Amino acid sequence: MTGKPKSLTLLSAGGRVWLPAVMLCSVAIVQIFLAKTASLSPWKGGGFGMFSSLDGTAFRRVRIFVQAPGRDEELEISPSQERLAARAELFPSDSKLHKLAIAVASREKRYSRDVTTVRIEVWRADFNEYLEATDRPLRAFTWNVDQPPDNIR
C-alpha cells in the first residue's frame, strides 16, 4: 500500500490516459464552433480544418475607413498596424477590431488628422467551382472616437 487513497491513485492513472484525448476533443469542438459562429478562420485556433479550406489570411482582407468633418476616406494599413490587422483577419472579434480601431485613431491624431469615426470591415474571398473569386463581408465594426470605452474584451 502506498499510503494514498485508492480512488486518488486510480483517478490519476485514468486521468493520464484520458486527459490528452479529452483536451484535444475540447479544443477541436471549440475551434469548430468559433469557425462556424464567430468567423474564426479554420487556420487559427488549433488548425483543425486548415487543409480543407482556403479561408486563411491570403483570402481575407481588412478595409479601414475614417470619418471626420470634411473627411471620409479609406486608409491603407500602416506597417505599425499590420499585426493587429492580421489578427483581426483571422478572428474578427469585437475586441480585436476595437484594438485596431484605437490604433488607427491614435495614428491619425499623431499626424494631426481629425477623426471622429473609424469603420473596419473584414472581407473574405469565396470561390465557385470554376475558381472564380467573389468577395463577401464577414464583419463590420464602427467605433466613435469620442465614445467612452466600454467593456469590450
Residue 2 CA from chain centroid, whole number = 49
Please tell me which of 11-20, 84-93, 111-120 the model is most confident about, judged by mean pLDDT. Answer: 111-120
Q: Which residue ranges make up each domain of the chain? A: 6-50, 56-144
Rounded-to-integer distance, Cα 109 and Cα 115, Å: 7
Residue 2: predicted pLDDT: 58
H helix and E strand count, the chain:
3, 4
| Cβ(2)–Cβ(9) below 8 Å | yes
pTM over 0.85: no
Indicate whether 49 pLDDT > 70. Answer: no
